[in-house]
Amino acid sequence: MSRLSKIEQGRQIIVPELFKDFFSFCSYSLPKDLVGTDLLNDHADLNEWATELLAEDGTENFLNVDDLVFMMHQGYIFWYFKANGDPDPDVFGYYQGKIKPDNLGRLSEFLKRYRA
């Protein structure tokens, strides 16, 4: 069973196939634009880290049980999407010091910049 399958089963979430492809791609080659970024591939506890960042910022925890934090950069930015079966969910980004996350568009478009 793959690491991502274990996360899906353990958290009872459904990860889109296009993210599974990206996850697999990053297992072999980290995109150069992601140097310094922690990926779900190596850190299954990114949701916990994101929750800690929100608490440190004094920001209400807006993450739901079906939100999957898949990248975190230098401990002050994280990206997530709803892993609820949507094949191409919106990606949200939270930056330290903000009150709420920004909607960054569809996952397919977000990941394109790292697959080029």
Band of pLDDT at residue 23, cut at 50, 70 and 90: confident
Q: How many CA atoms lie within 13 A of 97 on its CB side?
A: 1
pLDDT higher than threshold 60 for residue 84 = yes
> What domains are defined for the chain?
3-115 (3.40.1580)
At residue 22, the pLDDT reads 87
Task: Put the strands of the sheet holding 37-39 in their side by side order.
Answer: 37-39, 67-73, 77-82, 90-95, 102-106
pLDDT attached to residue 43: 78
> Looking at per-residue confidence, does 41 or 21 come out higher?
21
- What is the rounded CA–CA span in Å between residue 111 and residue 55? 28
Per-residue pLDDT tens for 36-68?
788 887 777 899 999 999 999 999 999 999 999
Is pTM beyond 0.85 here?
Answer: yes
